Amino acid sequence: MTAGSGLRDDLAAPVHLAQPPRRVVSLVPSITECLADSGLLVGATDYCVHPAGLDVARVGGSKYPSVAAVLACEPDLVLANAEENREQDVLELRAAGVPVWTTAAAASVPQALLALRRMFTEALSLAVPIWLPEAEQLWSTVPPTRVVAVVPVWRKPWVVLGRDTFAGDVLLRLGVGNAFADHEERYPRPPLAELQGAELAVLPDEPYEFTADDGPQHFPTMPSVLVSGRHLTWWGPSLLAAHTLLGEQLTT
């Protein structure tokens, strides 16, 4: 499918492109990393910190970007995500005449990688980057579950991974089950006492920054593992290193 011929994003919203985009603003840190070498990026959020030294205009946070700053970049396409960005900002950008391609909140690694394939080939008219099929192969299998973990992503209040999350599927593909995988909510808020019945606590450094001094002490009856939130939650080239690094961390 080529630009301008009935494109629809992951949420089935029309994306009207007269030609392949050449000025792109990313509102999603992991997507920014995916496009860092594309030559298309002219703007990104303040939280787009990979790769280091990326020289583009900054447009504020993912949840609260400055729409005026995005428009000042004169983009011909903005990239957003249904979970990370607010619908009202997407609608405001579209009302200003800027096409927005929104990826869905992926429930699995294969879903996320398929969404990136569509973004590269349909929205951006680019070739699939070499790391993407490598990641698809690397994360294609689900081994037997060897340990069940609780995965907090916030504290005060406690918020954990529930059903149908990308990070939960990352762990599953490394043999780590999610204690709240069958919960009706994607991000439940159970009391701390309900978190302490698992076999392992997996503590990422984003969105909440768990550290050696702020995290493990809340789970005194089980092992705790501090992991990179980027490796656990980002879609993109970081998935190549994540498979090995997380695998090693979660088996020690």
Average pLDDT over residues 4-33: 93
What percent of the chain has pLDDT above 70?
98
Q: Which CATH class is domain 139-249?
A: alpha beta
Q: What are the angstrom distances between the C-alpha of 26 and each of 70, 75, 80, 127, 231? A: 9, 10, 7, 18, 19
pTM of the model: 0.93
Average pLDDT over residues 110-130: 97
Looking at the DSSP bridge assignments, the partners of residue 8 are: 14
Q: Do domains 24-129 and 139-249 have the same CATH topology?
A: yes
CB 34, CB 20: distance < 8 Å: no
CA-to-CA distance for 61 and 180, rounded, in angstroms?
29
Q: What are the angstrom distances between the C-alpha of 66 and each of 32, 73, 74, 85, 88? A: 17, 11, 13, 12, 12
CA-to-CA distance for 75 and 34, rounded, in angstroms?
18
Ranges of each domain in the chain: 24-129, 139-249
Token readout for 2 is 């080529």
Query: pLDDT tens-digit profile of 187-203?
Result: 999 999 999 889 999 99
Pairing of strands 57-58, 41-44: parallel
Q: Which fold has domain 24-129?
A: Rossmann fold (3.40.50)
Query: pLDDT tens-digit profile of 56-68?
Result: 999 998 889 999 9
